Amino acid sequence: MPKYYCDYCDIFLTHDSVSVRKAHNTGWKHINQVAAYYRELDQDKTQEIINSITEAYDGQVPVPRAPSPVERPPYVPRRRGGFKRGGRGEHSYR
């Protein structure tokens, strides 16, 4: 049975079972490693991502602004259809 490798922690787990992976993924060391990975990714790659998005949108028509709010339609009360309301003991099968 192959061992499970965690890319964030750079380790092989002893078994490839759901319970072992779940226990590892909820552990404090793994959570810290994942957070550190995304912090580093954020610092290193943010500007590159922003530049690539900016280059993709250069020369395109600007995004239109949201339309101004219009008047809401007047309130129309709902019609209540269906069964008639009856008091105690007033049944339709009498």
- Cα 25 to the center of its chain, rounded Å: 20
- Output the pLDDT for position 12: 92
pTM for this predicted structure: 0.44
Res 69: pLDDT: 59
CB atoms within 10 A of CB 20: 14
Q: What is the mean pLDDT of residues 81-93?
A: 59
The Cα angle at residue 58 between residues 55 and 63, in degrees rounded to 5? 120
User: What residues contact 6, with CB distance under 8 A and at least 6 apart?
Assistant: 12, 13, 24, 30, 33
pLDDT for 35 equals 86
CA gap 39, 31 in Å, rounded: 12
Read off the pLDDT band of 16 (50, 70, 90): confident
Report CA Rg, the chain: 31
Q: What does the domain layout of the chain look like in residue ranges? A: 5-50
Cα gap 16→47, rounded to integer Å? 38
Mean pLDDT of 87-94: 57
For 42-85, write each residue's pLDDT tens digit: 666 767 866 877 887 776 656 556 655 566 556 666 666 656 65
Using the 8-state DSSP alphabet, how is residue 8 labeled? Answer: T
Rounded to an integer, the average pLDDT of 13-18 is 87
Given this model, what pLDDT does residue 31 score?
94
